[in-house]
């Protein structure tokens, strides 16, 4: 049961890079693992699970600080209400939506500029004009 993993194996299993794993240890996201006689890090199932958790939360864009909170709540795992988890997810969802809205505005502006550009010369390029011109707000 107590299968043992090298840092490389852990990296492969989680999709994390080796350096990132060491970094997570350094900032206290992962507990210090055991060491082999020669000083190599030795991980077990618990580290694997924790790192997987971190990876997934990161993939959803939660900042490391929030992941810390999520880990703490996950490790409690008692019958306290999960409202705080939900709140964190809801906050993240709002951020994602806000970012999407921002990016859509950028997309529209860039599309417009590319359409307007006559593909002529530098001194007539509409894209450059948009940056150079008087303070007209660029189509937000």
Query: Could you tell which of Zn ion, its own copies, DNA, none binds residue 87, using a CB distance below 5 to 8 A set by kind?
Result: none
Residue 128 CB, shortest distance to its own copies, in Å, is 5
Long-range pairs, 84-88, Cβ under 8 A, ≥24? 88/62
56 binds DNA (CB under 7 A): no
Q: Quick check: helix, strand or coil at residue 16?
A: coil
Nearer to its own copies, 37 or 134 (CB): 134
Binding mask 57-86 for DNA (x = CB under 7 A): -x----xxx---------------------
Residue 79 CB, shortest distance to DNA, in Å, is 30
Q: Compute the distance between CA of residue 45 and CA of residue 42 in angstroms, rounded to an integer.
A: 11
What the block records as the tokens of 4 is: 């043992």
Q: Compute the distance between CA of residue 134 and CA of residue 130 in angstroms, rounded to an integer.
A: 9
> Angle, to 10 degrees, between the axis of helix 18-26 and the axis of helix 45-59?
100
Residue 81 has φ and ψ, to the nearest 5°, of: -65, 150
Alpha-carbon dihedral 5, 7, 13, 15, rounded to 10 degrees: 170
Q: How many residues bind its own copies (CB under 8 A)?
A: 53
Nearer to its own copies, 6 or 109 (CB): 109
User: Which residues make up the interface to its own copies (CB under 8 A)?
Assistant: 49, 52-53, 56-57, 59-61, 70, 73-74, 76-83, 85-86, 89-90, 92-93, 96-97, 99-100, 103-104, 106-107, 109-111, 113-114, 117, 119-125, 127-128, 130-132, 135, 138
């Amino acid at each position: 049961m107590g299968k043992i993993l090298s840092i490389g194996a852990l990296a492969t299993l989680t999709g994390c890079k080796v350096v990132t794993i060491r970094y997570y240890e350094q900032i206290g996201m992962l507990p210090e693992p055991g060491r082999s006689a020669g000083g190599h890090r030795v991980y077990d199932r618990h580290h694997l699970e924790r790192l997987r958790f971190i990876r997934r939360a990161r993939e959803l864009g939660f900042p490391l600080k929030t992941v810390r909170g999520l880990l703490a709540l996950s490790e409690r795992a008692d019958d306290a209400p999960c409202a705080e988890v939900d709140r964190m997810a809801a906050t993240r969802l709002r951020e994602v939506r806000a970012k999407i809205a921002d990016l859509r505005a950028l997309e529209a502006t860039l599309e417009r500029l590319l359409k307007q550009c006559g593909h002529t010369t530098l001194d007539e390029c509409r894209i450059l004009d948009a940056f150079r011109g008087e303070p007209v707000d660029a189509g937000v």
